[in-house]
Amino acid sequence: MLLPIRIWGDPILKKKAAAVDRLTPADKKLIQDMFETMDAADGAGLAAPQVGVSKRIFVFRIGDERHALINPKITLRSGEVEGEEGCLSIPGVQAKVKRAKRVVVSGRDQNNKPVTFELEDGEDMGRAATCVQHEIDHLDGVLYLERAEPKTISWLIEAVDDEGEDDIILRRVSRDDILAAYKARKFPPNVHVLDVLRERVER
């Protein structure tokens, strides 16, 4: 079942999520629905508060594999990497964020088994280390734009280049202006955003 994604400005995204004591059938169903919702929105990860559930659960990808982590904890961080991030709860926007390049993260999987992942951003795993840090931030009520370099925060705008080819250009914007657009339920013209997320704002 596809779950509606909460958009920035929704108070649940600012809340610290609660630890999961016992994994219930409802939690397992939630995880399946989160996998489906992540796939439908073409996301790299999705945290439970983004679908309105304030619990310490998130799903993410390493290459083609999908994983769930419950009560995740990062036990080691090393190195530094700066890359573009986006967020399903902040559609149409991207910005640069500095993260640890390598992390070790432990938690429980959807079968309640203890799991540990050693993740490193790079060719093998894509940006799994960055993704896990972004998702755990969601569980703590922190959005990536709060960590982003302010000068890099941009709308993704659909444009046509000199050769008449479709192109995406970045247009700098402030955090306040993004929030104002979502509150007004209207994107600026030509913002590049998936229909399923556009509907969440312009409903």
Catalytic annotation, residues: 135
Rounded Cα gap, residues 69 and 17, in angstroms: 14
Least Å from the CB of residue 167 to Zn ion: 25
Task: Identify which of residues 23 and 41 has a Cβ nearer to Zn ion in the complex.
Answer: 41
Would you count residue 34 as binding Zn ion (CB under 5 A)? no
Task: Identify which of residues 112 and 155 has a Cβ nearer to Zn ion in the complex.
Answer: 155
> CA dihedral in degrees (35, 50, 63, 99; nearest 10)?
-160
Least Å from the CB of residue 4 to Zn ion: 15
Would you count residue 87 as binding Zn ion (CB under 5 A)? yes
Would you count residue 148 as binding Zn ion (CB under 5 A)? no
Residue nearest to Zn ion (CB): 87
Rounded Cα gap, residues 173 and 14, in angstroms: 21
74, amino acid identity: I
Would you count residue 95 as binding Zn ion (CB under 5 A)? no
Least Å from the CB of residue 65 to Zn ion: 19
- Listed residue (75, 69, 74) closest to 19, CA to CA: 69
Rounded Cα gap, residues 145 and 138, in angstroms: 11
Q: What letter does residue 150 receive in the DSSP assignment?
A: G
Site residues for Zn ion per CB under 5 A: 87
